[in-house]
Chain A
Amino acid sequence: MNEKDNRKIEIRAGIRDRARTIGTYLFLSLWGIIVLFPFYWMMLSSVKSYGSYNSEYVPKFFTLTPTMENYITAFTAVPLARYFLNTLIFTVVTTAIMMIVVILSAFAFARLDFKGKDIVFSMFLSLMMIPNELVIITNFVTITNLNLRNTFMGLILPSVTSVFYIYLLKENFEQIPEELYKAAKVDGTSDFRYLWKVMLPISKPTIVTITILKVIECWNSYVWPRLITDDSNYFLVSNGIQEIRENGFGRENVPAMMAAVVVISVPLVVLFLIFRHKIMAGVARGGTKG
C-alpha cells in the first residue's frame, strides 16, 4: 500500500519535471525564432525576384525559384561596393590607431613612474562619464572648421581614443608580475622591447577582446559618419543603407534592398560565428553597445 503510493508520487513528479523541461525548451525556441526570423526574412526576400515579391499580397515563407539578380542590382544600381570599401578602411585604420594609442597609455599608467600619474589617471577616469552626445556638437564644428568633412581623417580622428579600453588594458598589464619588468631592466632590455616582447603576448586575450569590440563598433557606427559626410563617396555602410532606403533603387524595390542588407550583415555575422566564444566572453567582461 505504502510502496504503491510512493511510486505514484514518483511518477507524478517525473511527469511534472518532464512537462517543465518541455515548457522550457518551447519557450527558448520561441525566442530563438523571434531572433532568427528577421534574418531568415531578409535572406528569403533577397532571393525573390522583383516581380514575384510584389505580386505576393500574402508573402510566401519560402521560394522555389531563388534568384541572384537582386545582388547584382545591389552592387550595380548603388555604389554598395564603395560603401563597403569605405567601411573596411575606416574600421581597419581606426582600430589600428586606437590600439597603438591605448597600448601606449596603458603601458605608461601600469609600468612607468612619473610625476602626476595619479592625477592624470583620475582625470582620465572622470572622462569616462562624459556621454558622446555632449561633445559631438563641438567636434562637428571643429572638423567642419578644419575642412575635414568628407575625408577619412574627419571620420577617424575623433574615435581613436577610448578611456574605457585604456582602463581595461591597464588593469590587465598590472597583473603581470613586476619582477619580470625588473629582470628585463637588469638585462638591459628597453621599455618598448619589454612591452612588445613580454607584455603584449601575455595580454593577448584582452587585446583581442578590445580589437573585436572596436571593430563591431566601427562597422555599425552611424551618427558621426552621418554628421561628417554628405558626399556619398565617403558613406559608410550604415549611411549607405539609409541612402538606399530613401533614394536608392526606387522605394519599392524591396528585394534589392534586402540583398544590400544581407551583404552588409554578413561580415560581422561570419566574424561572430568564428570567434563567438571570444566575443561573448569579451562583451561580458566589458562591453556596452554604442
Chain B
Amino acid sequence: MKKNLTAWLCLLPALLFLLVFMVYPLVDVLIYSFEEGFNFASGRFFGTGFYNYSYVLHDPFFIQALKNTFIIVIITVPLSTGIALLISMELSSIKFLRDLFQTIYFLPYVTNTLAVGLVFMILFKKTAYSDGLISLLIQVFGGPSVDFIGGPYWAKMFVMCFYTIWIVLPFKILILTSALASVNPMYYKAAQIDATPKWRVFYKITLPMISPMVFYLVITGFIGAFKAYSDEVALFGTDLNAAGMNTIVGYVYDMLYGNSGGYPSYASAAALILFTIVFTITTINLLVSKKTVYYN
C-alpha cells in the first residue's frame, strides 16, 4: 500500500500536466470544431455541426495554405532525403577531415530558425539599395534580376524549399551517417571478393541495410514538412496570407490569434483536417514500408 502511494506521488506531476495540457485539450479541440459560430469573447455558440469544416474548406486562404504545404512536402521530403543520403555516403567514404565536416553540417540544427531565416531573407531580398546577393549572382551568369522574397510565387517557393532543406538536412545526415557506420563491413568485403560493381553494392547491400533508418527519416520528414510554419515566418514575416506563403499550421494560428484571430472553432477544424492528412499519409507510409523495408 505504501509502495503504491510512493509510485502515484512520483507520477502525480506528470499526470497532472498531461491531463491539463494534453488530454483535456484533445477532447476540447473536437468539441470546438463542432461548435458553430463560437464567440471567443462571450463564450457562446449557436449550433453544432460540420459548418466549421465546410467554412475552412471553402476559405481561399486555407486552399492556398493547403497548396503551399503540399508543394513544400512534395519537394523537400524526397530532395532532402536524397541529398542527405548522398552526403552521408560521401562522408562515410573518407577519413581525413571527416569530423570537421560532420561538425559543420550539424551547425544549422542548433541555430534559431527565426534568426538565421533573417540572414536568408537578406541574401535573397531585393531592396532599394541592392538586388540581393543571390540575385546578383544569377545576373553574373546572364539571368534576370529576381526578388525572391517579394517577387513571383515560384521564386518565393524556391527560397522556402531551399531554406527548409537547409534546416532539416543536419538531422538527416547525422542519422544516415550513423546508420551507414553500423553496417557490418563483412558484407562489403564479401562483395569486394566477388568484384561486385559499386552501384550493385549500393542497391543490394547498403540500401537494404539502412532502409529502416531511411524509412524513419521519410516518415518524420513528412510529418515535419506538413507542420511547416516557423521557417515561413522567418523568411516572409508574420503576415503570411499577404505574402501568399501561408501553411496549414500558419492558418490555424492566424485563426486563433493576431489581427485575423479570435476563431478557435475554425482553428480547431483546420487543425483536425491537418491531423487527418498527416495520419493518412503516415499510415500509407507504414503500409509501403512493410513491403520494402528490410528488418534483420
From 142 to 174 in chain B, residues with beta carbon under 8 angstroms from any chain A beta carbon are 166-168, 171, 174
Bin chain B's interface residue count: 35 or more
Contact A272 B107 (CB under 8 A): yes
Interface size on A, residues (CB 8 A): 91
Q: How far is the CA of A158 from the CA of B25 in the complex (A)?
A: 11
Binding site for B on A (CB under 8 A): 21, 24-25, 27-28, 31-32, 34-36, 38-39, 41-42, 45, 54-59, 100-102, 104-105, 107-109, 112-115, 117, 120, 124, 127, 130-131, 133-142, 157-158, 160-161, 163, 166, 191, 216, 219-220, 222-223, 226-227, 237-238, 241-242, 245-246, 252, 254, 257-258, 260-261, 264-265, 268-269, 271-273, 276, 279-280, 283-284, 287-290
Residue among B18, B105, B174 making CB contact with A161, cutoff 8 Å: B18
Where chain A touches its partner, the secondary structure class is helix
- Proximity string of chain B (99-127) to chain A, C-beta cutoff 8 Å, 1 when within and 0 when not: 00111111111111111101110110001
Contact B224 A246 (CB under 8 A): no
Contact A138 B25 (CB under 8 A): yes
Interface-central residue, B40, B112, B252, B256, by most chain A CB under 10 Å: B112
Question: Is B4 an interface position by the 8 A CB rule?
Answer: yes
- Known contacts A133-B271, A258-B122, A283-B109: does B17 contact A101 (CB below 8 Å)? yes
Q: How many A-B residue pairs have CB under 8 A?
A: 248
Q: List 27 A-B contacts (CB under 8 A).
A: A25-B97, A31-B87, A31-B105, A32-B105, A36-B107, A39-B116, A39-B119, A41-B133, A105-B11, A108-B10, A112-B7, A114-B8, A115-B4, A127-B18, A131-B223, A131-B275, A137-B264, A138-B25, A142-B21, A157-B21, A226-B257, A241-B112, A258-B118, A260-B115, A261-B115, A283-B174, A287-B171
Please give me the residue from chain A that is nearest to B112 by CB atom.
A220
Residue among B3, B26, B130 making CB contact with A135, cutoff 8 Å: B26
Please give me the residue from chain A that is nearest to B107 by CB atom.
A35
Please give me the residue from chain A that is nearest to B17 by CB atom.
A161
Question: Is B178 an interface position by the 8 A CB rule?
Answer: yes
Q: How far is the CA of A38 from the CA of B121 in the complex (A)?
A: 10
Residues of A within 8 A of B97 (CB): 25
Interface 9-residue window, one of B61-69, B202-210, B230-238:
B230-238
Contact A28 B87 (CB under 8 A): yes
Q: How far is the CA of A204 from the CA of B93 in the complex (A)?
A: 33
Binding site for A on B (CB under 8 A): 3-4, 6-8, 10-11, 13-15, 17-18, 20-26, 28-29, 32, 40, 87, 90-91, 93-94, 97, 101-116, 118-120, 122-123, 127, 129-131, 133, 136, 166-168, 171, 174-175, 178, 220, 223-224, 227, 229-230, 233, 237-238, 249, 252-253, 256-257, 264, 267-268, 271-272, 274-275, 278
Residues of B within 8 A of A41 (CB): 119, 122-123, 133
Q: How far is the CA of A58 from the CA of B138 in the complex (A)?
A: 13
- Known contacts A115-B4, A223-B230, A264-B115: does B130 contact A56 (CB below 8 Å)? yes
Q: How far is the CA of A113 from the CA of B102 in the complex (A)?
A: 44
Contact A276 B116 (CB under 8 A): no
Interface-central residue, A31, A141, A258, A268, by most chain B CB under 10 Å: A31
